[in-house]
Structure 1
């Protein structure tokens, strides 16, 4: 079977190509990719090429398919997996395999497996490790966003708190505590707000910082303070760039107590140091943002670490249980992964979007891989819709859903490009 895929040959060398896939082995599964959202980790992969810890050293002759935030349909099942999987089944993918000490991962390491393509082959280890997951939701894009949501969920579960009575750690963010999400009006931060509002360890307060009024305005539009109040949670968006003394002003919100859980969503030294200063007694700071500089450092207060039990950790990625939870919550409508998405395009948009990801404003860039379409900002749908009936329909649909991408809009795209989402 022929596939069209975005392949990496080296540093900054991405190519959209059509080529023949081999026949699957009895322990492999052929899948049809419907959607793939573009991750900053893929940008880092492309910038590092062979230097990336997950990239094979022979990519110049055996290029890898990039993309790992993908979803689609199972097309053909090898004999080994026929009792567990079936053609036509919707799936989502957990790319963090952690397989026998290897760093190999779909979207980074495989010649025939990645999300930025029309069809690909899932290798045996993906199924062996339970990383090819059944998805029961209506829309494909929510399954694609399950992977980044699983990273967020992993961070909430991995935070911990201690006590002076014993050495037991209470896992998860603190019940009835204060959460601070720093740099939180980007795509991942908004995902964290959406998840935090329904997390079983219900907080009393979530404070979200940013330095852009424009990003804060969009955040308020998609996740309002009122919607949080209805759940019994105080939600505040603040622009720290307009505060004379951000540490004092943020501390005042808590009555001087500080924040039980701090998540740092931007790899900025000053932000990490500010987060450390804002920790409450037994507060936990999660450095969530992944820096590209291997020597990235920031100063922390070890006096507080000793005397007030503050602690610092970092999480990267989520595990399979986190992805299962993300898929379940999305299918139930308990979380809105769509708050991450600001741009939509086709498979032909992936190369340039990936190579220029940090310079493209907004949040997640969502690609549908079965057709060509320029990468387009949702906020531009209205203007484009004045002359293009497709964008008129897409704009009307998004406006009816708080300005968010949604399942109805996905179906409008499929209808327009004559894509049957059930066709294998």
Structure 2
């Protein structure tokens, strides 16, 4: 008999169900894993709203439901004979969900009946290992490995940027060394890590300007990644609410001395932001429309005169590759980046379906799910109040408070010990 699992499964648009069922026995080229943590992605919300209309969703999902969730980590439980020389039961793992196996769009959390992150156990199919997408992981917290996937998307967004020259047709990949970076709508969860990453990885800019219209988010960003910290890394960092300027374009250009921005990232799917980013590019500027819109007809006006005469270029990126994931894990393990800046809420598997369906209204950052526990969706900022009556939350608050209010490895251990996960 196969392993019993509890999982959140998609049957169609707006139809998510938490169910317990038995997994089949693994084949010789498969691996059974126990998932400990998964982080919820906006992409899963889009899948849940679109159902079988989503490009990665099987058309028979109503009769063969798929397990949602793709940002997960845990322990290897059983290894098929083909992989026994490379992986061992009991070791931790991280995984890269962007498979692209033989041109297929199939991906965990979107396409597989027995392979997804919002489950207590799942089966890794052969293509994961064949593509090198199952990684050994020895970090001190599972959630770091879960967050390595979204961080890899951010890293990939930097590495895909490019610049040209007039001597040849070679593209210089990555952001411009010593250039100006503009992150529009950048004080949200993903934007925060996009601010932190270039301080320690890839090419280093001279200046980073982050805009957001939410003063609360800007204040949190300043607290977590202060300009003083960036200055120590040789980077000038500005946080700006453009609504404070009568002429937003001139104000943002003035920060660069009128030169403009070599690399522009649009971190919110807003037409006006994309158009502002296009206008603010310097000569040979590169714009990455990073934010994925839900509307398939989403568009914005781009200045093709500048594209022709000043060599501006526009691209979009989604996901990262396995090298990006390895870089994310390495930087986090070296404590150079803090993926926890993205996390605002914690929950158990029983809260996943509701959290996914209502994700835009929650105005949350990253939500980390622990799949072997039941726990309501809980904001880290509420731990102190909850701790007045519940010793668990008192301990969690104490731990997070000692880490700038961030979720951390110690807090994860407290939570897992309380619920006897791994005992």
- TM-score normalised according to structure 1 size: 0.98
Counterpart position of 1:316: 318
Counterpart position of 1:174: 176
Count of paired positions: 421
Question: Which of 44, 69, 72 pairs up with 1:70?
Answer: 72
Question: Which of 182, 190, 193 pairs up with 1:191?
Answer: 193
Cα distance in 1 for partners of 2:246, 2:15 equals 45
- TM-score normalised according to structure 2 size: 0.98
Q: CA deviation digits over 1:167-225, x for unaligned, max 9?
A: 11110000011100110011110111111211231111111110000111111111111
Secondary structure class of the residue paired with 1:374? coil
Cα distance in 1 for partners of 2:136, 2:70 equals 16
Counterpart position of 1:15: 17
Counterpart position of 1:236: 238
Tell me, yes or no, if the aligned pair for 1:345 and 1:365 is still in contact at 8 Å: yes
Tell me, yes or no, if the aligned pair for 1:222 and 1:403 is still in contact at 8 Å: no
Counterpart check, 1:363 vs 2:365:
yes
Secondary structure class of the residue paired with 2:102? coil
Tell me, yes or no, if the aligned pair for 1:71 and 1:140 is still in contact at 8 Å: yes
Tell me, yes or no, if the aligned pair for 1:7 and 1:63 is still in contact at 8 Å: yes
Cα distance in 2 for partners of 1:291, 1:144 equals 23
Cα distance in 2 for partners of 1:243, 1:381 equals 37
Counterpart check, 1:273 vs 2:278:
no
Counterpart position of 1:219: 221
Structure 1 portions without partners, runs of 5+: none
Cα distance in 1 for partners of 2:202, 2:276 equals 27
Cα distance in 1 for partners of 2:170, 2:60 equals 47
Query: What RMSD over aligned residues (CA atoms) do the two structures have, in Å?
Result: 0.8
Task: Tell me by how many angstroms 1:241 deviates.
Answer: 2.2
Cα distance in 2 for partners of 1:243, 1:359 equals 28
Secondary structure class of the residue paired with 2:375? coil
Alignment of 1:270-419 (within 5 A): 270-419=272-421
Tell me, yes or no, if the aligned pair for 1:73 and 1:91 is still in contact at 8 Å: yes
Cα distance in 2 for partners of 1:169, 1:208 equals 26
Q: CA deviation digits over 1:253-289, x for unaligned, max 9?
A: 0000001100000110000000001001111000101
Q: CA deviation digits over 1:313-362, x for unaligned, max 9?
A: 11111011111111111111111110100000111110100010011023
Q: CA deviation digits over 1:90-111, x for unaligned, max 9?
A: 1111111101111111110110
Cα distance in 2 for partners of 1:193, 1:134 equals 27
Task: Tell me by how many angstroms 1:305 deviates.
Answer: 1.0
Counterpart position of 2:202: 200
Task: Tell me by how many angstroms 1:74 deviates.
Answer: 0.4
Task: Kindly report structure 1 stretches of 4+ aligned residues shifted beyond 6 Å.
Answer: none
Structure 2 portions without partners, runs of 5+: none
